[in-house]
Structure 1
Amino acid sequence: MFLLGVNYWPRLHNIKMWKEWNEGDLAKDLDQMRELGIRAVRFFILAEDFFDPYGGVYEGSLAKLKRFMDMLGERGIRGFPTLIVGHMSGRNWKIPWAPDGDVYRPEAVERGVRAVSEVVKALRGHKALGGWILSNELSLVKRAESREEALALLRAYSSAIKSLDPHAPFTSGDVSSSYLQEPPNVKGLVDFVGVHLYPYDSNAVRHAYLYPAYIELFSLDGEVPVLLEEFGFSTYQFSEEAHALFINDVLWSALAHEALGAFIWCFSDFGQEADPPYEWRLLELGFGLVRADGSVKPAGEVVRAFAKDLERLEALGLGERYRRPRAEAAVVVPFYMYRDYEFVSQSLKAEVGIRPALQALSLAFMAGLRASAVYELDRERLRKKLLIFPSVATALATTWRAAYEGGGVVYASVFRAFGRAWALHDAATHLWRELFGVENATTPGSYGVEYSGIFRMKFVEDFGPIKAGEELELALDSPVYTYVVRPKDARVLAVDHRNRPVLLAAKRAVLSTIPIELLLSTMSHVDWLRGYHRIYAALAQMAGIEIPLYTPDPRIEVATFEGPEGRLVIAINHSYERLEAPLLGEKISSAEKIAGSGEVEPPVLRLGPKEAVAFLAK
């Protein structure tokens, strides 16, 4: 069951929920949630309202907590208690056992475990309990000094909670950039990763694709379940109408990428504008699905409609009889993202980070290609038909060897320096000739070749759907420095304005000396209709990966689910424009619409701004 949920503070009491306990007001909120189709609620145990400095729990607060869980159970709503709440909505509130905010000190961990354990003992086995969320963005109270310090804390709480309640799932609740959210390092300590996403972007389509890309990034090829634990915007930042379209897009994206669920921030607006922190964080007054007076916003109506669509899709068997096929293509996440290595440039992590991986996943989705993310050190998961190394400055020597010997197609785009990310004293690979069939011809001691301004990649040979003579244009906001290569056993697919090779193909490998993904992730203006995603369609074709259904318009994502009665298809318009596009790929004889506000009349999809449609294709 997809967990359609909200993050919750009461509409009339906000963060003062426990201090101003009013069961009647809470009941009205919960009844309205149920009427909107909400299935799950993440709520917050404000530390100063529950715990003393020694890790003891106030009995009165515990009684309120139990009653609130009963109220959820009476309405069939699952509750996800957030156990340690210091940071909330732009303010750090007091944590009694860590008054200085250092929650990582051994004595603070000991007292915190004692406090949390009392709550777990009180609520374990409750029919409304959905799972345990350790914190609300603990790293914003204090970021751990090291990965080891963070994982020691997580290990202590995980061990204590799981020993008391081995059945309910557990997660950290931290910000997405935290050590506590690194999938390769926290698997085994948490049962799922709860992602918090509030990205901003100059390009609306790129922004929309970030949400499914993050879900795939954190799932590590389906190994780690992912919950979109927080997402949203304030209608004091953007219009209510645009906010509703945005919510619809993200909900359908989470469903299409098999997330456990999606929890919107948050249930309601608040009217108490003089209360801290709302007085100075006034955007926090307006994140709700309902207004401060209780009336439903357009986003609330979107949630109501989505809840009904969910029922229809789950009755059909979505998630059970109909599942996404296993990914035969994978985007490789660099080794330095989740482990520290001596003398590896920190600018690669800080300035480049996961942006190329997210953009690579987005390009794959645009092409209709089912792609996952794998961590570079997870050698077994590198055995794919297609491995994508997007915009890499370096990779482990053993990774390149494993890719060379793996039998699949390897694609890599490389660079030497971009913006504040400099990797001049690194090498992208040591298998230039063996893997890619080229010779590195970069002048010793130089930065490499510089590209800036308008750059055009001209194809001199057909490459999948891209025909010889076509050009792909990139408008670079900053110069990029990269390698010069000479083909030896590779053929040239595309050249630059001076006829230098920039895209080459060997027998089982493709090399781009242009870091396409990094550039596309940073360009202020991108026209996706230029067809950058077709490079990924060509790679899939080269690797022998079938793309069953797709559209030529990269603003529309098409996700397919395999089932006993054909394919269940979810198509999502990630733009704010009304779109019409043909469905390409397999021939469809019939399409039965199941859910969504878009329309399908084979072979044509018609989708309004941010609309989606789900249909059975036969």
Structure 2
Amino acid sequence: MRFGVNYTPRVGWFHHWTDFDADEVARDFDAIGGLGADHVRVFPLWPVFQPNPTTVSAAALRALDRVIELAGERGLDVAVDGLQGHLSSFDFLPSWLVSWHRRNMFVDEDAISATARYLETLARAVAAHPNTFAFTVGNEVNQFTGTVHPDPHPATSGQITTWLDRMLGAIRAGAPGLLALHACYDASWYDETQPFTLEHVARQGDLSVVHSWVFNGTAQRFGPDAFETRAHARYMVELARAFQTDPGRGIWAQELGAPRNVLPDASVPDFIDGTVEQLAQAPDLFGLTWWCSHDVSRALGDFPELEYDLGLIDEHGRIKPEGVRVREAVEAARKAAPADASGAPVIDLDPAADGGRAALAPGGAFWTSYMDQARRGRHPRIRLAENPVHAHDAVPVQEGSAADA
């Protein structure tokens, strides 16, 4: 199991690309090394790197090159995101997608072509570094299609399939040796109106990617110390696995954290321990990447309050108690005997019959059936109706279904 952090620069946050200081990045990576991390996930800001549809900034690419070099000098591998996109409640779309130049980023052919060119250029640049291992299309770009977004870019699921094919194809053209991925927030699991689906999560790209946040209603509904709250990330992993058609496909828990808006300080240590332990026992878990490396500086305004305290390292560069706790939890998980996947209980899922994605959401019928089983001692495997991977599954099936819950 790989362990890393999502890199949030201590000085300037992601605005550091416009006022780049390699010495500050080096200090950040020295501190990250103290967490026992083996990789970082870095976030080029899209409008900085592609200010015009036909232009990629050479200066920004040089800064990214230096970030990857500095990571490598400290034994850190690097995963790069392309489209930022959306980060910590702020949107970063280039000017050629907004206002007078407004185009639908998922549907307009000019926008799609420009975005694909950018991703291919960026992928080719980062692939030149031996410590780069993965390239993600972007950070939770599915939030732009959601009905909750104030300025959405609507698309159908079919259009999203085509868009992802183009974006992943561009990454592979630029960097055929890297893992090519895409990442969604949990609306793809739980919201029936979301055009990015679990089929997209589990079948496009080289790994299935999970972003797990318990402020989605889980901790509010069940409480900060509940089994369900600590099991949420593992549950999302198991749902993603159920929809996979490649039985050997890995799953990356690419974002999870301990948000203080739903977890009081006293609940954080056990949340970390329980979440990491359950994730580490998931078969085929590729890695775990914590959000995030550093707290957002109080000098920066207008962030949701929880963002100022999500880091494992404080804004002065000191590892926090939760940073120590995550490091120790990962160390313990790596030493533990791997889980035996054989003989695990099985729970059937037929999305059409069982209530769709609403049944999968916290408190839904399928969620309840799953958590009842998991609480009895082992996380069940989920057997998806009509998935050929599960057609000859010989593991005994639990009686009943989500519809009976």
TM-score range, shorter chain: 0.7 to 0.9
Which residue, 308, 315, 319 being the options, matches 1:296? 319
Residues 220-263 of structure 1 deviation map (CA, whole Å, 9 limit, x = unaligned): 27554211111113346544442233122211111111321221
What TM-score do you get using the length of structure 1 for normalisation? 0.56
Residues 411-449 of structure 1 deviation map (CA, whole Å, 9 limit, x = unaligned): 3364xxxxxxxxxxxxxxxxxxxxxxxxxxxxxxxxxxx
In structure 1, what is the Cα distance between the partners aligned to 2:255 and 2:305?
19
Report 1 or 2 for greater relative contact order, CA contacts < 8 Å, sequence distance ≥ 6. 2
The match for 1:123 is 126
The match for 1:213 is 235
| Alpha-carbon offset, residue 160 of structure 1 | 1.8
The match for 1:39 is 38
Identify the structure with the greater helix proportion.
2
Residues 359 and 366 in structure 2, CA contact (< 8 A), matched pair in contact too: no
Q: Aligned ranges for residues 83-102 of structure 1 at < 5 Å?
A: 83-99=82-98, 100=102, 102=104
The match for 1:261 is 287
Which residue, 152, 159, 174 being the options, matches 2:162? 152
Residues 346-372 of structure 1 deviation map (CA, whole Å, 9 limit, x = unaligned): xx3364345333333333333334621
The match for 1:333 is 349
| Alpha-carbon offset, residue 181 of structure 1 | 5.8
2:163 is paired with a residue of what secondary structure?
A: helix
Q: Which runs of 5+ in 2 are unaligned?
A: 147-153, 189-193
Count of residue pairs the alignment pairs up? 375
The match for 2:272 is 247
Residues 227 and 375 in structure 2, CA contact (< 8 A), matched pair in contact too: no
In structure 2, what is the Cα distance between the partners aligned to 1:367 and 1:310?
21
Alignment CA distance shift 1:127-1:240 (3 Å): farther
Q: Mean alpha-carbon deviation: is it higher for 232-241 or for 134-143?
A: 232-241
Q: Aligned ranges for residues 78-477 of structure 1 at < 5 Å?
A: 78-99=77-98, 100=102, 102-104=104-106, 105-143=108-146, 144-178=154-188, 182-185=197-200, 187-199=202-214, 200-201=218-219, 202-203=221-222, 204-220=226-242, 222-235=247-260, 238-258=263-283, 259-275=285-301, 277-278=302-303, 281-309=304-332, 312-313=335-336, 322=338, 324-326=340-342, 329-336=345-352, 348-349=355-356, 351-354=358-361, 355-369=364-378, 371-382=380-391, 383-388=393-398, 410-412=399-401, 414=403
| Alpha-carbon offset, residue 182 of structure 1 | 3.7
Residues 182-213 of structure 1 deviation map (CA, whole Å, 9 limit, x = unaligned): 44345553111211111233321222222222
Alignment CA distance shift 1:412-1:6 (3 Å): same
Q: Aligned ranges for residues 469-488 of structure 1 at < 5 Å?
A: none
1:242 is paired with a residue of what secondary structure?
A: helix
In structure 1, what is the Cα distance between the partners aligned to 2:300 and 2:402?
52
The match for 2:61 is 62
Q: Which runs of 5+ in 1 are unaligned?
A: 337-343, 389-409, 415-514, 517-618
| Alpha-carbon offset, residue 375 of structure 1 | 2.2
Q: Aligned ranges for residues 585-600 of structure 1 at < 5 Å?
A: none
In structure 2, what is the Cα distance between the partners aligned to 1:387 and 1:84?
42
The match for 1:442 is none
Q: 1:411 corresponds to which letter in structure 2?
A: G
Residues 82 and 136 in structure 2, CA contact (< 8 A), matched pair in contact too: yes
Q: Mean alpha-carbon deviation: is it higher for 350-359 or for 104-113?
A: 350-359
Alignment CA distance shift 1:78-1:159 (3 Å): same
Q: 1:412 corresponds to which letter in structure 2?
A: S
Residues 348 and 402 in structure 2, CA contact (< 8 A), matched pair in contact too: no
Alignment CA distance shift 1:166-1:330 (3 Å): farther
In structure 2, what is the Cα distance between the partners aligned to 1:5 and 1:44?
14
In structure 2, what is the Cα distance between the partners aligned to 1:103 and 1:330?
40
| Alpha-carbon offset, residue 101 of structure 1 | 6.3
Residues 198 and 231 in structure 1, CA contact (< 8 A), matched pair in contact too: yes
In structure 2, what is the Cα distance between the partners aligned to 1:56 and 1:254?
41
Cα RMSD of the aligned pairs, angstroms, is 2.6
| Alpha-carbon offset, residue 140 of structure 1 | 1.9
1:81 is paired with a residue of what secondary structure?
A: strand
In structure 1, what is the Cα distance between the partners aligned to 2:104 and 2:402?
42
In structure 2, what is the Cα distance between the partners aligned to 1:311 and 1:384?
29
Q: 2:205 corresponds to which letter in structure 1?
A: V
1:261 is paired with a residue of what secondary structure?
A: strand
